[in-house]
A and B are shown apart, each in its own frame.
Chain A
Amino acid sequence: MSRAPLIAVPGTGDVAGQLIVPNEVIAQIVGLTVLECYGVVGMAATSLSQGVARLLSRERITQGVAVRREGDQLAIDLYVVVEYGLNLAEVAANVRSRVTYMVKKLTGIPVGSLQIHIQGVKRTT
Chain B
Amino acid sequence: MTPRERALALARGGQAALEANRGRINDLNVYPVPDGDTGSNLADTAGRLAEGLAEVPEGSSPAAIARAASRAALMGARGNSGVILSQMIRGFAESLSAEAG
Contacts and interface: CB of A to CB of B under 8 A. Distances in A.
Size category of the A interface is 10 to 19
A116 interface: no
B61 to A, nearest CB: 22
B74 A85 contact: yes
B87 A37 contact: no
B10 to A, nearest CB: 22
Chain A interface, >50% SS class: helix
Contacts of B36: none
Interface string B4-40: 0000000000000000000000000000110100000
A12 interface: no
B97 interface: no
B80 A87 contact: no
B75 interface: yes
A67 to B, nearest CB: 20
Interface of A: 36-39, 85-87, 90-91, 93-94, 97-98, 101
